[in-house]
Amino acid sequence: MGGLGMRLRKSRWAFLQAAAVIALSIYVDGLVEGDAVKGPSFLLFSLLYLSFRSKLKDLTAIAFVYFFVSWYLLSERPTDVLITRLATFTFGGILAVFWSASLRSLEEWIRSTIMLIRRMNDAVLLTDRHGRVILLNNKACETLNGAESTFMGKKLLPLFLTDTGQINGRADVFNVDSRIPEGVVGLTIEGSNGNLLARSRVFVVGKGRFRVYAFTLENAAAN
């Protein structure tokens, strides 16, 4: 998925983390005197964290295990404490599962969009708000005559061009206060001694730290 994807934790690591949290929760809960309960809180925070990084089926299974562990930890507490804490954990667990389901749906939409971009006949290059390359489609790799890994993470430097194609200064495209050039700009990579890679038009989507810049490459440029 280029630089746009979220890497999910493998199932075995998710369950290993869950096992470690359960052991820690039981240990900490045994240190607490009176009606105070710490174990279920550890479990709930762990579940919320896993909702960002774990597969939905893994999270659902872990949520059920955490529920029964919480029940066990609360079983010797007064009934009102058991009901209140278990209801709080259940509500938080349901929110975590629904949040995870929403994230996975969003990731699937992003994955489908990226696959569409990769298969486009136009050469497209994407950067983050700092100008670092996060995606090149197949046509862009052909145009630039290089593998995607060659450009990933490198900072792109847009350049103003004269009517004759000569470099006429740097285009401060990634400054949020700057106006996006309407015409063709030149592209080079930071640290490449100013060698022109290609000519391109630039578009921007999103706002703030979620801005993504799209460059449609028109042709490769001779160094």
Per-residue pLDDT tens over the stretch 190-210 = 876 667 778 889 998 888 778
Residue 6 reports pLDDT greater than 70: no
Domains of the chain by residue range? 11-116, 121-220
What is the DSSP code (8-state) at residue 202?
A: E
Dihedral angle, C-alpha 203, 2, 115, 218, nearest 10 °: 40
- pLDDT of 4 reads 56
Report, in angstroms and rounded to the nearest whole number, the Rg of the chain calculated over CA atoms: 25
Per-residue pLDDT tens over the stretch 59-96 = 899 999 999 998 888 887 888 888 888 898 899 889 99
- pLDDT of 220 reads 57
Of the segments 30-44, 127-141, 152-166, 196-210, which one has the largest average pLDDT value?
Answer: 127-141
Q: Which range, of 72-81, 103-112, 153-162, 186-195, averages the lowest pLDDT?
A: 186-195
- pLDDT of 198 reads 85
Predicted structure pTM score: 0.66
Class of domain 121-220: alpha beta
Beta strands in 31-179 (DSSP E): 123-127, 133-136, 156-161, 167-170
**Rounded distance between C-alpha atoms, residue 54 and residue 118, angstroms:** 26
Mean predicted lDDT score pLDDT of the chain: 83
How many CB atoms within 10 Å of residue 153? 10
Residue 124 reports pLDDT greater than 90: yes
Cβ neighbours of residue 54 closer than 8 Å, sequence gap 6 or more: 8, 9, 14, 62, 100
H/E element holding 146?
Answer: none
pLDDT band (50, 70, 90) for residue 139? very high
